[in-house]
A and B are shown apart, each in its own frame.
Chain A
Amino acid sequence: MTSPEKVLVEVNRARDGERSLEAAVVRFAGVLRRLGMRISTSEVMEALAGTAHIDNLDRDQFELLLCATLVKKAEDMPLFEAAFRLFFSPPEHRRFMEGRYRRAREERERMISLAREELRFQGESLDIDERELETYIALTPSEQDRLKEFLERSSSGIKVDASFRPIIENIVKGHLSRRRREMMHGPKPYHDLRPTGDEVLDAVVDALVDGAGTGGSLLYRDLMDISGDELKRTLVLVERLTRQLAGRISRRYKRSARRKSVDIRRTVRANIQFGGVPIKLKYRRRSVQKPRIILICDVSGSMSKYAGFVLQFVYGLTSVADRIESFIFSEDLERITPHLWRRRSFEETVKRLLEASGQWGQGTDLRRALSRFRKEHQHLLTPNTFMIIVSDAKTLGAKEAASHLGAIRRRVREILWLNPVPRAEWDELPAVEQFCRSCRMFECFTLAHLEHVLRERVWA
């Protein structure tokens, strides 16, 4: 009995000996669900029904059966294949994987309790959660020493009593959370998966998450992490996404004539030739207003990369917008619409913009930018206009900027703010709350986010 062909039989006999083919399929669907794939019960039942029609001992056929019934998206196939390879692997490999997972879990628990021991204030452990402790473990030894030293010094300071504890805790938490953000820079796939308690399932998911790394679809990648050699592929993807979205939107503008009401005047006129008998019906045309868009992009420092992608994306939707006006700002505002209307490739346009504009890569002053906008471009604001701001909300004069934003809000349909900082970190940006009074803010650091916001908010 060779393992590749007869692996299922072995799976059935593995571990507690009571595993049936049905149970294996159901558990495998569970693994796929944990990895983010949407699989309904009816699809699992279909997979089970399919087992009656194929040779279940043929590994390839069995894989194709599960693939055809459980996976309904081409993008999910690589993940499915990896999960299948791991889940339906020979028993010895599974045992190795489970053992490795168990050891890793024990090691993690040991490290966490060690970290809890090390991070003490006046002899007592600090009240910080596991995520922060994990960050502490991941720090370099010298960084860990610095933190321990800080705690020791604070513990023994003159006039320092137990009432200082919350302050110290907050300082340590703040530091760890900042370091975590720096280490991660954008979400890694599935990083929030918590163990289910089922060792086989967790071991497979864990192995897949380990292997996932920073690769994965460009659609879900932080735009900041897209490297030079991936740029072209990303731009092709942007073009594909905008084409899809524009196609979908234009379909809505051209609904079938049959759903509209009859235009009596035109029908009568068209049927005079038939003696007034309405042989040919004419329908009313529905006029659809396309939205107007004002795009204001922060191009200071790290924001310029995001701004470039957003500009490219929105310009792909020109055919389904009434008018797009674009501005960039860092220390001041600059209108760039004329540059973008010329028929040049996007890369060339951005290159020329860089040469012509003094705004790229400067500091951020939204207050000044919005003030100038209101002085010079107020006439662009109409009730059919969406203003889209792309910025991380780290600006000078946030209070005044928020007040300008409030004034603009009253004259437009909606202000959408695309923020590349993950939502979980907005608490640390005090200006976010002030801006949110006048706009809807969305986290937006991947192309998938961008597509979703534009589809759901502007062209809903």
Chain B
Amino acid sequence: MPLDYDKLTLEALREAFAKDGYIAGENILVPVYLALQLGKPLLIEGEPGVGKTEIAKVLARVFSAELIRLQCYEGLDENRALYEWNYQRQLLKIQITKDRLDPEEVEQDLFSEEYLLTRPLLKALLAEKRPVLLIDEVDKTDAEFEAFLFEVLSDFQVSIPELGTVTARQIPIVVLTSNRSRELSDGLKRRCIYLYIDFPSVEREVEIIRAKVPEVGEVLRRQLARAIHHVRELPDMRKKPSIAETLDWARALVAMDVERLEPKVIEDTINLFLKNKDDIEAFFKEIGAENLARLATAEG
């Protein structure tokens, strides 16, 4: 039974997230709930791999809504995000009908919805049922696109010169994510409810492993969460292991029939949670497999 957007309560949202397997504390649920209640875009920032994008996916599932994703990249512009005319098709039409029809009629026909290629933003505005619009990695676009974006997000309408103004049929649930590779503009931030997701605590990560990789035994689960926590604490890590990497590591250890973290196991599987040479070197210099195994197992 999907959640009812109009009768939403914090308790219902908490239950729906838990049912969907997204383990979230109040620090995540309250901002999400507020964004939904106030009809504001939710801007989520945090290190890569802490579950930012997943929130949009969970929202789409719990509301049984369509997930429309705009993946941002360098050089993304309005045409790719909003709409563009199907130029090739228009040309073909001109070629086919050039000797037969009245030119004015052809022109009118060429700029009709039939030749319009809707991109994610327009698609979200035109959706019949309230969709979830995920604008992923918004920090990768440039400032001009960001300005355009916050215009769309404040009015939920756009104008297409040839067609007129298009207003959203339903205000979509908007989730923006950013890896903080650059600072976003104040204008965009002002229009959003802000959520910063940090790496989870050991206890929370144990719960996440339990929910996502239930095959892992209780002992190993705790040891894994503690070990990852210690690795993240190392001061010289350039890329701290993400939750996804913890889960990959857990799955790999299950496949290897490992029940306890031992130095040899850590050494053999280090590539699963540390993905660059400098970090691996720093790991062995600062803590090493033996110490990590000791720390992970000593506490309980």
Judged by a CB distance under 8 angstroms, whether B30 is at the interface is yes
Q: Report A242-287 residues with CB < 8 Å from chain B CB.
A: 243-244, 247-248, 250-252, 254-256, 258-259, 277-279, 281
Chain B residues with Cβ under 8 A from A247's Cβ?
74, 181-182
Closest chain-A Cβ to B144's Cβ sits at a distance in Å of 9
Contact across chains for B74 and A232 when beta carbons are under 8 A apart: no
Chain B residues with Cβ under 8 A from A40's Cβ?
190
A68, A71, A239, A251: the one within 8 Å of B238 (CB): A239
Judged by a CB distance under 8 angstroms, whether A159 is at the interface is no
Judged by a CB distance under 8 angstroms, whether A114 is at the interface is no
Closest chain-A Cβ to B180's Cβ sits at a distance in Å of 7
Chain B residues with Cβ under 8 A from A178's Cβ?
none
- Mark each residue of chain B from 235 to 257: 1 if its CB lies under 8 Å from any CB of chain A, else 0: 11010000000000000000000
Count of chain B residues near A, Cβ 8 A: 41
- Mark each residue of chain A from 47 to 85: 1 if its CB lies under 8 Å from any CB of chain B, else 0: 001100110000011001101110111100100000000
Chain A binder among B15-23, B75-83, B102-110: B75-83
Contact across chains for A77 and B26 when beta carbons are under 8 A apart: no
Q: Taking A42-B190, A236-B238 as contacts, is the C-beta distance between A65 and B30 under 8 angstroms?
A: yes
Count of chain A residues near B, Cβ 8 A: 41
Chain B residues with Cβ under 8 A from A72's Cβ?
43, 186, 189-190, 192, 194
Cα A203 to Cα B205 with chains together (Å): 39
Q: Report B122-144 residues with CB < 8 Å from chain A CB.
A: 140, 142
Judged by a CB distance under 8 angstroms, whether A43 is at the interface is yes
Contact across chains for B236 and A256 when beta carbons are under 8 A apart: no
Cα A74 to Cα B52 with chains together (Å): 15
Chain B residues with Cβ under 8 A from A400's Cβ?
none
A43, A53, A243, A256: the one within 8 Å of B34 (CB): A53
B43, B182, B192, B196: the one within 8 Å of A244 (CB): B182
Closest chain-A Cβ to B182's Cβ sits at a distance in Å of 5
Closest chain-B Cβ to A44's Cβ sits at a distance in Å of 11
Q: Taking A50-B34, A68-B195, A69-B34 as contacts, is the C-beta distance between A279 and B235 under 8 angstroms?
A: no
Cα A256 to Cα B33 with chains together (Å): 37
Residue of A nearest to B28 (CB): A64
Q: Report B167-193 residues with CB < 8 Å from chain A CB.
A: 180-183, 186, 189-190, 192-193
Chain B residues with Cβ under 8 A from A73's Cβ?
183, 189
Residue of B nearest to A252 (CB): B142
Judged by a CB distance under 8 angstroms, whether B200 is at the interface is no
Cα A38 to Cα B187 with chains together (Å): 11
Chain A residues with Cβ under 8 A from B38's Cβ?
46, 49-50, 53
A43, A61, A74, A252: the one within 8 Å of B30 (CB): A61
Contact across chains for A236 and B236 when beta carbons are under 8 A apart: yes
Chain B residues with Cβ under 8 A from A251's Cβ?
74-75, 140, 142
Residue of B nearest to A69 (CB): B193
Most B CB within 10 A of own CB, among A49, A54, A248, A254? A248
Closest chain-B Cβ to A39's Cβ sits at a distance in Å of 9
Cα A28 to Cα B238 with chains together (Å): 36
Residues of B within 8 A of A (CB): 10, 26-27, 30-31, 33-35, 37-38, 40, 43, 45-46, 74-77, 79-80, 87-88, 91, 95, 140, 142, 180-183, 186, 189-190, 192-196, 235-236, 238
A-B CB contact pairs (8 Å), 14 listed: A40-B190, A50-B38, A64-B30, A68-B34, A68-B195, A72-B192, A73-B183, A74-B180, A236-B238, A250-B74, A251-B75, A255-B75, A256-B76, A279-B91
Residues of A within 8 A of B (CB): 38, 40, 42-43, 46, 49-50, 53-54, 60-61, 64-65, 67-69, 71-74, 77, 232-233, 236, 239, 243-244, 247-248, 250-252, 254-256, 258-259, 277-279, 281
